[in-house]
Every structure is written in C-alpha cells, then in structure tokens.
Amino acid sequence: MATSINQHQSILESASRFPLPQGLRFSYGTAGFRAEASVLASTVFRSGILAALRSLKTGAVIGLMITASHNPVNDNGVKIADPDGGMLTQQWEPFADALINFDVSCMCISWAIMLVVLKFVEEENIPLGGVNSSAEILLGRDTRPSGRALVEAAKQGISAVIGAVAIDMGILTTPQLHWMVRRRNKRMKASESDYFEQLAKSFRCLVDLVPKEMAKLVDAKFVVDGANGVGGEKLEQLKGMLTGLEVEVRNLGRKGDGILNENVGADYVQKEKVIPCGFGSDDMGIRCASLDGDADRLVYFRLLSANSRSVDLVDGDKILSLFAVFIKEQLDSLSKMTNDKLRNRLSSRLGVVQTAYANGASTHYLKQLGLEVVFTPTGVKYLHKKASEYDIGIYFEANGHGTILFSEDFISSLHDVEKELASCPDCESRNAALRLLAVNQLINQAVGDALSGLLLAEAILQYYGWSINRWSELYHDLPSKQLKVKVADRSAVVTANAETQVVKPSGLQELINAETDKYSHGRCFIRPSGTEDIIRVYAEASTQEAADSLAQAVEQHVKRLLTEKSF
C-alpha cells in the first residue's frame, strides 16, 4: 500500500512540471510523436512514463529515441522501440495518444495523467509500484540542439515510475538504438562499438566471398551525403574499420558545414531529384549516396550532367530490387545441392513487401524474377509485420527506409547446412550459405538502417561487378505524380486492399478507374493522410504528361465529391 501511494505521489509531483501546451494535439504514428521542439517537453515526459510502463508490462528493455528524422532542425520528436527492436506495438498507440492528449478541462494536469495511467495499468495488469517490479529504458538522441533538454524530460518521466531506470546511450542514429534494444533483449553485447564491429566484420565476410573476377570491376571510391546529421559522423567512425571501400563523407554537420536536412539528405534528394549541397560537377561519374537526418533512410544517385543539378535516382525500390536479386541467387545456389536431405532441410519462402507507392515498374520487375510480391498499407509498422511472416522477408519504401528479416528457424537450418558443407570450401552452395549468414549479421533486422543498408549494397555491387549505371538500368521507373487535396475531414475517405481501393465515398473508385483506363500503364490511388486533413493522390502512366493529367483529373473528382456529399 505504501509503495502504491509513493508511486502516485511520484507521478503527480513530476507531471506538474510539464504542463501540456494549450490548443495542440499529438498523434502517435509510424514516426512517433513529432512537432516543433519548443512544444514537446510535456510529450517527451509522458513518453518516458509510457516507455517505463511498456518495460514493466513486457519484462524487457525498451528504447526511447529523441529525433525528428528528416524534418527541419527546429523540429524534434520521440519514438518508442519495443523489445524486438521494432516499433511500439499498435495495440498501445491509443493509450499513447490518450496519455499525451488527456483532457484537463475539469481537473489539474497531474491528476489527469494519474487517472489515465491508473486506468490503463489496471486494464493491462501492469505491475506498477510493485516491490519486485523493474523497468529498463535505453535513451538515445540525434544531433539536434533541442535533444539534450528533451532527453532530460524523458528521464524525469521514466524516473516517475518506481523501479524504472533510464540508461542514456548518448548521441546515436535511430537504427543504432533499435539495434541495441533488440540485442539487449537477446542477452547479447549491445554497445556502439559492438554495433560497429558487427557491421565491419560481416561486411568483410561478404567482400571476401566476392568472385575474384569481379573484385576490381567496381570503383572502391564513393561519396556519401551525411545530411548534416548523426549518420555522417557515425559513418566517419565506421569507415576506418572497413576494407575494400574508399568512403568520402560530406555534409557532416560540423560548425559552418550546413544545417541538418536543409537542402541535403535522402528525403531531399528522393523528392527533389537533385544533388544535395556540397555536390557539384566534379562528382560526374562518381557513385553517390545520401542518408537522412537520423540515418534510417538511404538512397543512391549519380549526377546526370556537369551543367545540371538533376540526378539519376536509385531509390528504395531499386535498393530492394538489388537485395532481392542477390538473395534469390544465393537461394537458387542452395537449391542445386545434390544432397536431397540438406536441400529439403533448407526449404524457404522469400517474400517482397511493398506499398502502393512503389513504382509499378519495380513491382513488374520483381514479379518477372518469379518473386512473391505483396502489398501493405503505407507505414513501416505494416511492412515490417508482413515481412516477418516469411523465412526471408524484404521490404523497402521508395523513400529509402527498409530492411531484410530472417526467421530464426531459417538461420538455424542455414548454419546446419553450412557445417555439413564445411569439407567443401570452394563449393558454391557453401559460399551461398556463408553469404546469407553474413547478410543476416550485417543487415539491421530491428528497423531500416542506412549504414547497414549502405554496406550491403556496396558488397552486392562488388559481387556483381556493377556500376551505379548498371544498377539503375535494372528497370526504368514509370513517370509518376503526387498531389495533396486539402479537405475538411480526411476520415470521409476510407480505403481497402492496402489503400489501393476506395470504399467511401461510394462511386469515387469507379471514377478513378474510368480516368485510369484512359492512359497507357495508368495506375492511380488515393489515401487519407495519417496526420492531417489531406487526401493524397498518386498517379502513374507511360509519360509524365499523362501521369500529371491523371492525377489532376482524380484530384478534381475528390474535391467535387467531398464537397457535394455529407459523410
């Protein structure tokens, strides 16, 4: 009883120091809570309570990351990493929203928080205030100036829960924190040096398995745009441990070196299709890559002309395609083993997961390879969950966020097969097994990771002896157009089939179909924004003029129907 009273007092006293800004409402989406940094202290404090409760509930280490990813430097945000290193479970998102946005019109803020927490604790049977209850939360932040103060707010939220301990891991990329949480819960080493060592070791293994005739076909030199964020600094630390690569990192965010995400970074390059600051005509012919502000997105690019800033973009769709081609080839090699017993032991299901925003040309290319391609609604939490249903699941969004997931059963079987083939050191089946085991160690299976993705892409390019030009030529994107339609209520539009079909308002999907049928290779869908009253329109066609025309025609139908009808 005394412990329970102390717990109540601890939350009450701490909450009073973090009043909620009036007139604001926050929503926990794939990116967690995100806003202008000056209004986030109360949100981050309550997220500390949320993370502590999640740790108590699961009996595992939880992560809390302070970042706004590719947003401007004055923004910030907070996201929670679950025990597997992935996103906070969707089942807890309503509680997250309620905790951050509680109604305080009839009571003091502290008591409002207390009531919200107590109700949820009872529903979830969380051992709050118990004598033996304990929670551990790993904290990380990116390089934003506001990060330090927000980490302190998170610490106070965590310490308000009796038995909860915050461990400040310092400045990290978002994927590093997710990786650490996953490793800690597997009882494995999980420091930043362990992260670097694992990436360097597994990359070295992949490079050592590159066929000798391919080893010198790819220029070892390439240039990376660090987005003036944390990823560039971490890559600077990592590159000294790498063999077979000559990495030049620009836009490190050091004093006088530019502003975080301002005309730099993966999001900027992917959306604008131009070179970032710090790149110019001298980079003609050089393989280039760009990270985003917290290093969970990656795109490649090459400068098209010395007299232009336009780039040939190699986005997340083509990164996915490169990974899929490589993994399929290794699985094909394993399927040719003459030992039936070993071959049957390693039966595997490879799946590729995309959203409707994936360029239609990429989907067609992947299906032509004989791969199973499935779609989910937009958002990493949907992609990751679907990919986990396969023995090997690959997912990427066009923006460059994605990863590869391996099932534990498949990796266990792969280890067994590799041991059985140990007496055949030059056997291609054994080498294929070793390559897949190395990929399993290199790729960050908690979340999309620009650094691990970068190293895997570089290793595969060496394996095939491909230039970025050759990679880009895997297929040619269909021209596309995206538009935003402001509406009074985005919930008026309801979609199904991974957001590709409109259910409400009635009749709209038929109008979209009619417009789409007018164009060669036409494809169009609409979806409500997850954060604001906007309907997004996406269109593809065989020419840019046709894609623009299709998008504009559908935009007019959306405006007309949402104005004429009441829902």
State the distance between the two ends of the chain, measured CA to CA, in whole angstroms.
50
| Most confident region among 91-95, 256-260, 322-326, 530-534 by mean pLDDT | 322-326
Q: What is the C-alpha to C-alpha distance for residues 538 and 54, in angstroms, rounded to an integer?
A: 37
Is 530 annotated in some ligand binding site? yes
Check residue 27 and give its pLDDT: 84
Average pLDDT for the chain: 91
Q: Where are the alpha helices (DSSP H) in 133-173?
A: 147-159
Mean pLDDT across 345-351:
87
pLDDT band at 109 (very low <50, low <70, confident <90, very high): low
CA-wise closest residue to 264 among 228, 230, 300, 233: 228
Is 294 annotated in some ligand binding site? yes
pLDDT band at 435 (very low <50, low <70, confident <90, very high): very high
Whole-number Cα distances in Å, 110 to 41, 47, 102: 15, 15, 11
**Beta strand pairing call for 480-486 and 135-141:** unpaired
Q: In what order do the strands lie in the sheet with 164-171?
A: 33-36, 75-81, 62-66, 135-141, 164-171
Query: Any idea what DSSP says for residue 504?
Result: E
Residue 194 forms part of a structural domain: no
Q: What is the C-alpha to C-alpha distance for residues 342 and 339, in angstroms, rounded to an integer?
A: 5
Is 344 annotated in some ligand binding site? no
> Do 492 and 486 form a contact (C-beta atoms < 8 A)?
no
Q: Quick one: 150 and 80 in the same domain?
A: yes
Q: What is the C-alpha to C-alpha distance for residues 411 and 293, in angstroms, rounded to an integer?
A: 32
Query: Exposed (0-12), middle (13-18) or buried (19+): which is 194, by Cβ within 10 Å?
Result: middle
Q: What is the C-alpha to C-alpha distance for residues 109 and 113, in angstroms, rounded to an integer?
A: 6
Decide if 348 is catalytic. Answer: no
Check residue 111 and give its pLDDT: 64
Q: Quick one: 44 and 125 in the same domain?
A: yes
Q: What is the C-alpha to C-alpha distance for residues 550 and 265, in angstroms, rounded to an integer?
A: 30
Q: Quick one: 375 and 464 in the same domain?
A: yes
pLDDT band at 564 (very low <50, low <70, confident <90, very high): low
Is 491 annotated in some ligand binding site? no
Q: Which range has the worst mean pLDDT, 146-150, 287-291, 340-344, 465-469?
A: 340-344
| pTM of the entire predicted model | 0.94
Residue percentage of the chain with pLDDT more than 90: 75
Is 69 annotated in some ligand binding site? yes
Q: Quick one: 357 and 417 in the same domain?
A: yes
Q: Quick one: 518 and 493 in the same domain?
A: yes
**Beta strand pairing call for 402-406 and 221-225:** unpaired
Q: Quick one: 325 and 302 in the same domain?
A: no
What's the total number of domains in the chain? 4
Whole-number Cα distances in Å, 157 to 101, 144, 187, 458: 16, 20, 26, 42
Check residue 52 and give its pLDDT: 96
Conformation bin of residue 560: beta by default, left when phi > 0, alpha when psi is -120 to 50 = alpha
Angle at CA 28, nearest 5°, toward 24 and 32? 110
Q: Quick one: 159 and 229 in the same domain?
A: no
Residue 536 forms part of a structural domain: yes
Q: What is the CATH classification number for the domain harbouring 395?
A: 3.40.120
pLDDT, tens digit, 9 for 90 and up, residues 128-158: 866 667 899 999 999 999 999 999 999 999 9
pLDDT, tens digit, 9 for 90 and up, residues 492-523: 999 999 999 999 999 999 999 999 999 999 99
Is 34 annotated in some ligand binding site? no
Is 528 annotated in some ligand binding site? yes
Q: Quick one: 256 and 385 in the same domain?
A: no
Residue 195 forms part of a structural domain: no
Check residue 1 and give its pLDDT: 46
CA-wise closest residue to 147 among 69, 87, 80: 69
Q: What is the CATH classification number for the domain harbouring 277?
A: 3.40.120.10
CB proximity list for 280: less than 8 A, separation 6 or greater: none
Q: Quick one: 321 and 309 in the same domain?
A: no
- 567 has pLDDT over 50: no
DSSP 73-108: TTEEEEEEE-TTSSBPPGGGHHHHHHHHS---TTS-
Residue 547 forms part of a structural domain: yes
Is 166 annotated in some ligand binding site? no
> Do 57 and 122 form a contact (C-beta atoms < 8 A)?
no
Residue 93 forms part of a structural domain: yes
Q: What is the CATH classification number for the domain harbouring 558?
A: 3.30.310.50
pLDDT band at 118 (very low <50, low <70, confident <90, very high): confident
Q: Quick one: 436 and 532 in the same domain?
A: no
From 313, 332, 367, the end of a domain falls on 313
Domain that holds residue 307: 201-313
From 168, 189, 210, the end of a domain falls on 189
From 189, 224, 241, the end of a domain falls on 189
Q: Quick one: 81 and 169 in the same domain?
A: yes
Q: What is the C-alpha to C-alpha distance for residues 133 and 162, in angstroms, rounded to an integer?
A: 8
Mean pLDDT across 227-232:
97
Q: Which of 69, 110, 333, 348 is catalytic?
A: 69
Is 397 annotated in some ligand binding site? yes
Is 536 annotated in some ligand binding site? yes
CB proximity list for 414: less than 8 A, separation 6 or greater: 346, 433, 436, 437, 440
Is 398 annotated in some ligand binding site? yes
> Do 120 and 93 form a contact (C-beta atoms < 8 A)?
no
> Do 247 and 287 form a contact (C-beta atoms < 8 A)?
no
Q: Quick one: 467 and 451 in the same domain?
A: yes
Whole-number Cα distances in Å, 194 to 173, 204, 369, 392, 457: 14, 15, 36, 24, 21
pLDDT, tens digit, 9 for 90 and up, residues 14-50: 777 888 888 888 888 777 999 999 999 999 999 999 9
